[in-house]
Chain A
Amino acid sequence: MESFSLLLSGFETAMSWSNLLYCLIGVTIGMLVGVLPGLGPTTATAVLLPLTFGMGPISAIIMLSGIYYGAMYGGTITSVLINTPGESASVITCMDGHPLAKQGRAGAALGVAGIGSFIGGTFSILGLTFIGPPIAEFALKFGPPEFFALMVMGMIMVIGLMGQSLLRGLIAVLIGLTLAMIGMDPITGLDRFTFGQAKLMEGFDFVMIAMGLFGMSEILIGIENQGKTQKPPKVKGVFPRKEEWSPALKSIGRGTGLGFLTGLIPGTNSVIPAIMSYSLEKKLAKDPSRFGKGAIEGVAGPETANNSYCGGALIPLFTLGLPSSPTIAVLLGAFIMNGLTPGPALFQSNPDIVWAIIASMFIGNFLLLVMNLPLAGVWAKIAMVPAKLLYPIILLIAILGSYSVNNSLWDVGAMLVFGVIGYFFKKVDIPIAPIVLTFVLGGLMENSLLQSLAMFEGDVLGFFSRPIAGSVLVFSMVVFVFSLVSGFRKKKSMIASDIEM
Chain B
Amino acid sequence: MKNAGVWVGCFIFVFALIIFSTALTYEYYGSIGPGPGLFPLWLSGALIVLSLLYIAESMFKHKISFSDILPRGKGLRNTILFILSFILFMIIVPATGFCIAGIIMLFIVLLPSYKWYLCLGISTTVTLFFFVVFYNLLKIPLPVNSLGW
Q: Which residues on A are within 8 Å of B, measured CB to CB?
A: 51, 167-168, 170-171, 174-175, 177-178, 181, 185, 187-188, 190, 192-193, 195, 219-220, 223-226, 386, 388-389, 391-393, 395-397, 399-400, 403-404, 407, 409, 412-413, 416, 420, 424-425, 427-430, 446, 449-450, 453-454, 458
Contact = CB atoms under 8 A, between A and B. Distances in A.
Tell me the interface secondary structure of chain B in the complex: helix
A223 B16 contact: no
A458 B34 contact: yes
Contact of A392 (B23, B53, B110): B110
Interface in B1-42: 4-5, 8, 12, 15-16, 19, 22-23, 26-27, 29, 32-36, 38-40
Nearest to B53: A167
B76 interface: yes
B22 A424 contact: no
Nearest to A388: B113
A453 B74 CA distance: 55
A407 B144 CA distance: 12
A453 B54 contact: no
A219 B141 CA distance: 26
A458 B39 contact: no
A236 to B, nearest CB: 34
Contacts of B44: 174, 178
A220 B70 CA distance: 11
Sorted from nearest, which 6 A-B pairs have the closest CB atoms?
A454-B33, A224-B75, A427-B69, A224-B71, A388-B113, A185-B36
- Size class of B's contact patch? 35 or more
Given A188-B35, A223-B78, A427-B4, A171 B12 contact: yes
A167 B15 CA distance: 17
A430 to B, nearest CB: 7
B76 A224 contact: yes
Given A168-B54, A190-B36, A407 B5 contact: no
Contact of B134 (A404, A416, A425, A446): A404
22 contacts: A51-B138, A168-B54, A170-B46, A170-B50, A174-B44, A178-B15, A178-B19, A181-B40, A192-B23, A192-B36, A193-B23, A220-B79, A224-B76, A224-B78, A392-B109, A396-B106, A400-B130, A403-B140, A413-B90, A416-B86, A450-B38, A454-B33
A396 to B, nearest CB: 6
A397 B130 contact: yes
B82 A223 contact: yes
A454 B39 CA distance: 13
A193 B51 CA distance: 20
A171 B82 contact: no
Contacts of B50: 167, 170-171, 174
